[in-house]
A and B are shown apart, each in its own frame.
Chain A
Amino acid sequence: MRPFLYQRATDPDMAVQALSAAAAANNPLTQATTQPLAGGTTLIDLMKLDVMRPTAIVDINPLAQGWSAISPDGENLRLGALAKMSDVAAHDEIQRNYPVIANSLKLAASAQLRNMATLGGNVMQRTRCSYFRDVSYENCNKRKPGSGCAAMDGVNRMHAVLGISDQCIATYPGDFAQALIALDATVEIMGKSGSRSMPFAELHKVPGHSPDVETALQPGELISAFTVSGRWPRSVYLKARDRQSYEFALSSAAIALDLQDDTIRDARVALGGVATVPWRAREAETLLKGQKFDDGLAQRAADAAFADARGRRHNSFKIALGKRVVARALQQAVAMEI
């Protein structure tokens, strides 16, 4: 860890000012010298590992009073970015009307981390790629653009099979983001020139030629809230992992269905643990919509979700696993008693 300036934001404007002040125009957010601190469960880790070297930290926890509300109004949902994962997961109405959100949060991390971590920080968490997190490896395009990718032919069991490029196969590690992308959530952003919003699906950027650019956020911008339209009581989050708790997904599926009798009126399928970003499987959704559900349809949808997947030496199993997870999650969603 290197010495840094610690500032405590007193209000959103001050936070945004502090974060924008030193921002160099061409630097992606991941390289910004001033970083916001919320729960700290990713940032502090990476600073100790010398992976992130900000010279200043802006503690935005004082903004929690205005930014941590959990507001379901019966039809729509608004979640403040500084709400704690544990509070949202335990919220009655979230559990009832948005089980995919409640479960994606409940199945993430550990109780202690969920008590610290915020929703905004959670969606911004960075990859767990071992080569990214260990600066003694020279080759990491995410950490050092142009240096290569040690994971490509290294130990890559945990790595992505979707959304990859020849520059980076690092997995987006979170769970909650899959629920948001499945539900067509919107993200509200506060910046120097006021607030703006965008579809959550546009927040994360696939690595392509610039794996160091991870999101559409600009330096100085902060996520203030997430909103979801409608209620999704028929929704599930299924997560396959090596151990029963406190472990990242090898493969997960966020599913939301609008089912009338046996016919699927609307379907949302998002994938975790297998892609470089929160992944919406729209091909699967297209197959499902308007169809009568049966196991064969679930299988075809799962196949479609992974049609473009490409495995490496240790992670090819994720393609077959991911398909089974999607098919099973669809069955579970259909079987739900609403």
Chain B
Amino acid sequence: MTAAAPEPKANMGKPLSRYDAVSKVTGRATYASDMPLANPAYAFLVTSAIAKGRVDGFDLDDARAVRGVIDIVTHENAPKLKESKLFSNGGYAGTTIQPLKSPDIAHDGQIIAVVIAESYEAAREAANRVKVRYTIAAPSATFDSPGTTTAAAKGQNAQFKEDPKVGDFAGAFEAAEIQLTASYDTPTQHHNPMELFTTSCAWIGDDLVIYEPSQYVYGLKNGVAEQLGIDAGKVRVVNPYVGGGFGSRGSMTPRTAIIAGIARRLNRPVKLVATRDQGFTITTYRAETRHEIKLGASRDGRLVALRHEGAELSSRADAYCVGGTKTTTRLYACPNVDSLVSIVRADRNTPGFMRSPPEVPYLFALESAMDELAVKLNMDPVELRRVNDTTNEPIGGKPYTSRSLMACFDEAAKAFGWAQRSPQPKSMAEGDWLIGYGCAATCYPTQMGPAAARVRLQRDGRTRVEIAGHEIGTGAYTVIAQTAAERLGVPLEKVAVFMGDSDLPPAPVAGGSNSTASTCSAVMMVCDQIRQRLFKAVMPDSLTDKAKETVGIGQAPTTQAAKSDRPLDLEKAFDTLGVGVVEEYGEWKPEGAPLDSFRAMHSGHVRLVGGHQMKDKIAYAFGAEFVEVRVNRFTHEIRCPRLVGAFAAGRIMNPRTARSQLMGGLIWGMSSALLEATEIDERNARYVNDNLADYLVPVNADVAGVEVILLSEQDDHINPAGAKGLGELANVGTNAAICNALYHATGQRIRKLPVRLENIEV
């Protein structure tokens, strides 16, 4: 075993190499824009240079004169498309701002024309030659800009149902022995997945094939069909590999139906590869947020009052919000809780999911405030968490299905060497560098959604698993193949997995960290259907139950009994049945899923359950993160040489892929705390650093040491796979852990992200 392939502990699968490792390393893995097209035309977008106003006219002569230009599509001649509702209102779209429908401009970088040409280069050159005449209106850029409007999230966003509260916050805060009030800010961020935002559309008669990196092929298929006004059965979305998602490809963007409409009109495949900077405005992003936290505590550290007020930015058109108070009001024992989330509207593109959408900004605020409270109490911040640890969430009193928060703190503290910390700020240094240690809790709701799978088993053990899941780099192929191999007792190398195709049985959006739990639970169920058929064939009815015991049907593969599993004699079973292939299809839904779940699943609507929304329980994965920061006394440069995280997330399907995701999360968390921010020119509401040279993410030299500790945890109350999602677990706590460490290093409390050297006053 190596660091990359940790030794599995109890209730962990094997740390197998990735199913797609060789394909990816050798470049054989085909991404959406790698798909061969017959004689495609190339599209290049022209986007608006203003954030608010209208297009008065175009001068296209120069552009049309470029050799190879086929057409230039603007609002004057664009294919007519039907409107699409926002995903949170029962639609598919990440924005209701529909470009090319009118001359109106609602945000910076809105698509205002599409140049179609015989080559990418000609399309790009012509796009550069398009001249646009605008009427410019003064836009509102962000918080505090003139012209923004603010209103409570409740009532304008259908998915934000309540501002959690319990007890008498005001009275308890007033009476608290220790009081803390603090405000926190988080910046605009963009996902910048490595793979650009591409769309290729090819019509074969009345049937449309879309090659596009998507985290939800069923949503995209149904959404585009709706916009085009055609039967969803005519649309197929294909993307066997996605070069990073992080939420940016979870909902439909306007570009897809536009390209599909142009391809239909041209009667020719059309390929769009949007540029990096266009990706900042034609998709979604993490909007800036503001928070005020009030904590009241007794002298022994017990929380008696907690209030979290959050404000989030959204577009004029859409009331997107993440509403992380659902988590922060339930994390610690506290009898008196209040909260409020507001949405501030500005002239911006509509924000959307970005890795751990609610938890990243909201836990930054809460976990920073907890550290501030620990300082006020003169208490070890780990002990403050221990004093306030709870088995039941305080709002509804529901029990956590499992909660290993303090075990994570203890394991991570030990590995990190927390005991060596001298608690006084500015008390640790080496050479030019001040040293700070900090920690924070991390958590993410355990979610799952209805999923279907088809599994085909041959006499020689070869197995084909079909499910419209998504490989966004997480290891989805690997854990699904592993699940099928274990369940059917066939060698892993005989299992082929097919995903990323909306012609396959539906799976939920690859978002909310639900994929492993949902897809593996469905695959397990269907594999069991196959086993039952086979056992029925080889066993007399009276012996079936006994047989189940010895070969493991119906048992979780983690239990002791499963160790006695022995492979079924497949050849005998097939010969008895007299068939060459056994194939089963099945639809799985989690406990508590709504009645319309399966219908919704086929029509591309997400029905995730879990987190705090379960009936009699609440399910979260937990972790604890410890970081070491170093601040240069002279330059004030900030570096983070060590990140240590311990995580408990139910069954770990594959410690290798799990570690990789958690490691990526820790690094992203550090990036978010110290580097990432989209700069907005407030005069014109435009994103300025819309490229990877200016939008900073860490390079290898910034990541000296990352340690991921996987804790053994068993949870039988969540899903058949027993897995809690962990893709969005690790990047939640890091922001606060780093700011807490910076306080320790410098004595300065920084409440606004990202922290840069000019914010340090040593």
| A residues adjacent to B (C-beta < 8 A) | 1-3, 50, 110, 128, 130-131, 134-138, 150, 153-155, 157-158, 238, 240-247, 250-251, 317, 321, 324-325, 327-328
Question: Residue B688 contacts which of A153, A154, A328 (CB distance < 8 angstroms)?
Answer: A154
Within 8 A of A (CB), among B617-653: 632, 634-637, 639
CB distance from B115 to the nearest CB of A (A): 13
Q: CB < 8 Å: which of B632, B636, B694, B699 contacts A130?
A: B694
Q: Besides A1-B121, A130-B688, 20 other CB < 8 A contacts?
A: A50-B128, A128-B693, A134-B277, A134-B690, A135-B128, A136-B47, A150-B681, A155-B679, A155-B681, A240-B635, A240-B636, A242-B637, A242-B674, A243-B701, A244-B699, A247-B696, A321-B636, A321-B757, A325-B635, A328-B634
Chain B residue contacts of A325, Cβ below 8 A: 634-635
Interface residue? B560 (CB, 8 A): no
In the complex with contacts A128-B694, A137-B49, A244-B125 CB distance below 8 A: no
A92 to B516, CA, bound (A): 53
Nearest to B46 among chain A residues (CB) is A136
- B410 contacts the other chain (CB 8 A): no
| Closest residue of B by beta carbon distance from A110 | B699
**Contact present for B634 and A243 (CB under 8 Å):** no
Q: Is B615 an interface residue (CB 8 A)?
A: no
A-B contact pairs, 9 of them (CB 8 A): A2-B125, A110-B699, A128-B694, A138-B49, A155-B688, A240-B757, A242-B756, A243-B699, A244-B702
Whether the Cβ atoms of B639 and A244 lie closer than 8 Å is yes
When the two chains form their complex, are residues A1 and B125 in contact, meaning their CB atoms are under 8 A apart?
Answer: yes
Q: Mark B442-463, 1 if CB is under 8 A from A, else 0.
A: 0000000000000000000000
Q: What is the CB-to-nearest-CB distance from B456 to chain A, in angstroms, rounded to a whole number?
A: 45
- Closest residue of chain B to A138 (Cβ to Cβ) is B49
Which residues of B does A touch, CB under 8 Å? 47, 49, 121, 124-125, 128, 277, 432, 632, 634-637, 639, 674-675, 679-681, 683, 688-690, 693-694, 696, 698-702, 756-758
Among A3, A153, A154, A328, the residue within 8 A (CB) of B125 is A3
Instruction: Give chain A's interface secondary structure class.
Output: loop
CB A69 to nearest CB in B, in angstroms, measures 31
In the complex the two chains form, what is the Cα distance from A135 to B132 in whole Å? 13
* Residues on A with beta carbons closer than 8 Å to the beta carbon of B702: 243-245
- B681–A154 touching, CB < 8 Å: yes
B302 to chain A, nearest CB (A): 40
State how many angstroms separate the Cβ of B276 from the closest Cβ of chain A: 11
Q: Which residues of B contact A1 (CB under 8 A)?
A: 121, 124-125
User: How many A-B pairs with Cβ below 8 Å?
Assistant: 81
CB-CB under 8 A from B639, the residues of chain A are: 244
Kindly identify which residue among A157, A245, A250 contacts B699, using a CB–CB cutoff of 8 Å: A245
Closest to A135 in B: B128
User: Known contacts A130-B688, A244-B639, A321-B636: does B694 contact A154 (CB below 8 Å)?
Assistant: no
Contact B701 A2 (CB under 8 A): no
Nearest 7 Cβ contacts at the A-B interface = A317-B758, A245-B701, A244-B701, A240-B635, A136-B49, A328-B634, A155-B688
- A241 and B637: CB pair below 8 A? yes
Contacts of A244 in B (CB 8 A): 639, 699, 701-702
* B696 A243 Cβ-Cβ under 8 A: yes
* A251 CA / B700 CA spacing, docked (Å): 22
Judging by beta carbons under 8 Å apart, are B699 and A246 in contact?
yes
Contacts of B694 in A (CB 8 A): 128, 130, 158
Contacts of A150 in B (CB 8 A): 681
**Does B698 lie within 8 Å of A243, measured CB to CB?**
yes
**B581–chain A nearest beta-carbon distance, Å:** 50
CB-defined contacts of B757 to chain A, threshold 8 Å: 240, 242, 250, 317, 321
> Chain B nearest CB: distance from A242 CB in Å?
6
| Chain A residues within 8 Å of B758, by CB | 317, 321
* Residue in chain A with minimal CB distance to B120: A1
Contacts of B637 in A (CB 8 A): 240-242
Cα distance, A134 to B639, chains bound together (Å): 31
- Are A324 and B699 interface neighbours, CB within 8 A? no
The docked-state distance in angstroms from the alpha carbon of A69 to that of B428 is 48
Do residues A327 and B125 form an inter-chain contact, with CB atoms below 8 A? no
Per the bound structure, the CA–CA distance linking A155 and B686 in Å amounts to: 10
Closest-by-CB residue of B relative to A53 is B128
Complex CA–CA separation, A241 to B639 (angstroms): 11
The answer for the CA separation of A150 and B682 in the assembled complex, in Å, is: 12
Closest residue to A136 on the B side, CB-wise?
Answer: B49
* A95-B681 Cα distance, complex, nearest whole Å: 42
Measured in the bound complex, the distance between the Cα atoms of B635 and A238 in whole Å is 10
| Residue of B with least CB distance to A45 | B693
Residues of A within 8 A of B701 (CB): 243-246
Query: What's the nearest-Cβ distance from chain B to residue A318, in Å?
Result: 8
Chain A residues, Cβ within 8 Å of B680: 155
A217 to chain B, nearest CB (A): 25
Distance from A79 Cβ to chain B, minimum over Cβ atoms (Å):
26
In the bound complex, what is the Cα–Cα distance between A135 and B125 (angstroms)? Answer: 13
Contacting pair A243 B635 (CB below 8 A): no
Q: A318: nearest residue on chain B (CB-CB)?
A: B758
Chain B residues, Cβ within 8 Å of A250:
757
Q: How far is the CA of A241 from the CA of B757 in the complex (A)?
A: 8
CA distance A154 to B637 in the complex (A): 24
Name the residue on B nearest A247 (C-beta). B696
Q: Which residue of A lies closest to B704 (CB)?
A: A244
Quick one: which of B128, B675, B690, B700 contacts A242, CB cutoff 8 A? B675
Bound: A170/B700 CA distance, A: 29
Question: What CA separation (Å) do A128 and B675 show in the bound complex?
Answer: 18
Least Cβ–Cβ distance between A4 and chain B, in angstroms: 11
Complex: chain A residue closest to B697, CB-CB: A243
**B49: chain A residues within 8 A (beta carbon):** 136-138
Enumerate chain B residues within 8 angstroms of A131, measured Cβ to Cβ.
Answer: 688
Enumerate chain B residues within 8 angstroms of A155, measured Cβ to Cβ. Answer: 679-681, 688-689
A321 near B635 (CB under 8 angstroms)?
A: yes
Is B635's CB under 8 angstroms from A242's CB?
A: no
| Residues of chain A within 8 A of B632, CB atoms compared | 240
Tell me, in angstroms, the Cα distance from A306 to B198 when the chains sit together: 48
Question: Could you tell me the distance between the alpha carbons of A250 and B634 in the complex, rounded to whole angstroms?
Answer: 13
A244 to B757 Cα, complex, angstroms = 13
Does B683 contact A153, Cβ atoms closer than 8 Å?
Answer: yes
Q: Min CB distance, A333 to chain B, in Å?
A: 14
* Chain A hits for B700, CB < 8 A: 245
Give the residues in chain A near B679, CB-CB below 8 Å. Answer: 155, 157
In the complex the two chains form, what is the Cα distance from A136 to B128 in whole Å? 10
Give complex CA distance A13, B61 in Å.
40
* Minimal beta-carbon separation of A224 from chain B (angstroms): 29
Q: In the complex, how many angstroms separate the beta carbon of B238 from the nearest chain A beta carbon? A: 29
**A2-B125, A242-B675 known; A328-B635 Cβ under 8 A:** yes
Whole-angstrom distance between the Cβ of B129 and the nearest chain A Cβ: 8
- Whole-angstrom distance between the alpha carbons of A240 and B758 in the complex? 11
Chain B positions within 8 Å of A327 at CB level: 634
Q: Which residues of B contact A138 (CB under 8 A)?
A: 49
A155 to B689, CA, bound (A): 9
Chain B positions within 8 Å of A247 at CB level: 696, 699
Given A243-B701, A247-B696, A321-B757; A130-B125 close (CB under 8 Å):
no
Residue of A nearest to B48 (CB): A136
- Cβ–Cβ < 8 Å partners of B121 in chain A: 1
B381 to chain A, nearest CB (A): 27
Report A-chain residues with C-beta under 8 Å of the C-beta of B681.
150, 154-155
The CA-CA distance from A243 to B698 in the complex, in Å, is 7
Q: Please indicate the chain B residues that have their CB under 8 angstroms from the CB of A137 in the complex.
A: 49
Return the chain A residue nearest B124 by Cβ: A1
Q: Which residues of B contact A2 (CB under 8 A)?
A: 125, 128
Residues in B with CB closer than 8 Å to A317 are 757-758
Q: Shortest CB–CB separation between residue A322 and chain B, in angstroms?
A: 10
A5 to chain B, nearest CB (A): 15
**A149 CB, min distance to chain B CBs, angstroms:** 13
Q: Which residues of B contact A110 (CB under 8 A)?
A: 699
Alpha-carbon separation in the docked complex, A265 to B694 (Å): 41
A137 to B701, CA, bound (A): 34
Known: A153-B683, A324-B634, A328-B634. A242 touches B688 (CB 8 A): no
Tell me the complex Cα distance, A251–B757, Å. 11
